[in-house]
Amino acid sequence: MIRRPLRTFTVLIGAAAAVTAFATPASASPALNEAAGPATLAAAQQKLGTSLGAAFAGSWLDTATGELVVGTTDAAQSARIRAAGAVPKVLRHSTAELKHIQSTLDNRTVSLPGSVAGWYIDVVANDVVVSVVGGDATGRAWAASAGVPVRVEQVKSAPRPLWDVIGGQGLYFSGGACSVGFNAYDDDDRYVITAGHCTELGGTVHGVDGTIGKVAKSSFPGNDYGTVKVTHSDVDTPPRVDRYEDGNDVRIEGADVVGVGGRICRSGITTHWQCGRVEALDQTVNYGNGNVVRGLTQTDACAEPGDSGGSFVSRPSSGSGTKLVQAQGMTSGGSGDCRSGGTTFFQPVKEVLNRYDLTLEKD
């Protein structure tokens, strides 16, 4: 995302054409505004753009009035625009001219400095803007050397690709690997929920594509949950759980509890997507060495080391379309394996949500 400029530099190359003012009748009141709705506005913009042809200079909604404004390089076309219900504005550059400028920049990426964050057509200002991080001199020089009229804006930082933290995928601590449980948020921040015996490792936590943040809170033994605070702006936290080779991601709809005998599935980096049934609720489990955890749910869905912290959800329904599920909890531990079968326990997610006043990311 390109932010508003802190400071603006202008590079003007070429002669500026004269702009002729055009008065419109006071009696003509625009009918096209934001209240008309996207479909009506889109149809009007397309029709006007076609009818104006080479004189079309873009269109936009006035943020103060909500009225549709249509630009033209030919003042004689203002009456046509007004008759269509829009507000005319005579501008210097046509849309075709601005697209040509943009295309010229698009064809110069081989020499592109890292300080150039991008470029775009500013339809309201009727020019092409080049965003340069910190107003870097090399970036400004690149814009000036293009041989086309551009405006250079200074931005704080360069954009970065966003990557997703998804339930069941890898969560890497300095002392070991676990799996993502669920994504959640409070009034100020976003968090990844996982097992407490994972977050007790502390420190900076990484996901499949980079750094997520640092451990925020941890509870183990007694409970088995913890949170990682998301501190990197390139991290997205959708309400999804990875089904790996079993199908497309499922999406979290809520956190209604599946009772004894109900079908559930879990996801983790070691054994991926495994399903089974709930066998018992509110179980106390002794992991040895004084590590006793209370309030766990017992299942016959197998798991293995590395799956810890991963998502337990209600079993998705059959049929086409996006599968919606209910979040159940995070894999805690168990016995056996996914070759011979086993028993697995999960920490109910509602407890950590209530304890830390968090809300699950969901559709």
Q: Which residues are known to be catalytic? A: 197, 224, 308
**29, 40, 97 from 73: Cα distances, Å:** 22, 24, 11
Which candidate, 230, 249, 243, places its Cα nearest to that of 171? 230
| CA dihedral sign, ordered 314, 168, 163, 218 | positive
Which candidate, 105, 110, 116, 63, places its Cα nearest to that of 87? 63
Q: Which residue has the tokens 């506005």?
A: 41
Cα 343 to Cα 338: distance, rounded to the nearest angstrom: 10
Q: Give the number of other Cβ atoms within 10 Å of residue 304's Cβ.
A: 19
- Note whether 267 and 331 are within 8 A (CB): no
> In this structure, what token pair is assigned to residue 289?
């060495």
- Note whether 252 and 241 are within 8 A (CB): yes
Buried b (16+ CB within 10 A) or exposed e, 320-354: eeebbbbbbbbbbbbeeebeeebbbbbbbbeebbe
